[in-house]
Amino acid sequence: MSEETIFTKIINGTIPSKTVYHDDLVTAFLDIAPKAEHHILIVTNKPIPSVAHVEAEDEQMLGHLFIVARKIAEDLGVNESGYRLIVNVGKDGCQEVPHIHMHLLAGGYLGGFGFPHDKI
């Protein structure tokens, strides 16, 4: 069996985290190195390495990420003011942890995003 990801260890409670939501399909916790006032990771409990590995059978679970994102945004009071959802994929997408997750960034105007720094 392949080694557990750091996020699986967080979901199982082996590694501590500040969990804000948990159900049968996903777990959400505060990012250890926040890039915005609110930075939450919404992680599938099933350890799929990345979007490049999703299958049709994962559709309901992946859609659930958005439902939980909206719930957390409501809890934070930013559902109307806005927020950003990011899913990094693979090396060029700067994905660090090989376990599907959605970043929820919120807390004020987040600015634009675009080309990588070395291409500007």
Residues that bind ligand 5GP (CB under 6 A): 6, 15, 17, 29-33, 41, 88, 94-97
Q: 114: which 2 tokens?
A: 């675009």
Please give the Cα distance from 2 to 4 (Å, whole number). Answer: 7
Residue 27 vs 56, nearer CB to ligand 5GP? 27
Nearest alpha carbon to residue 74 among 43, 28, 115: 28
Residue 18 vs 81, nearer CB to ligand 5GP? 18
Instruction: In angstroms, give the least distance from the CB of 97 to ligand 5GP.
Output: 4
SS3 22: strand
Instruction: In angstroms, give the least distance from the CB of 80 to ligand 5GP.
Output: 25
Instruction: In angstroms, give the least distance from the CB of 26 to ligand 5GP.
Output: 15
Say which residue the tokens 């309901």 belong to: 60
Say which residue the tokens 């939501």 belong to: 21
Cβ-based neighbours of 13, under 8 Å, separated by 6 or more: none
Q: Which residues are known to be catalytic?
A: 101
Residue 27 vs 78, nearer CB to ligand 5GP? 27
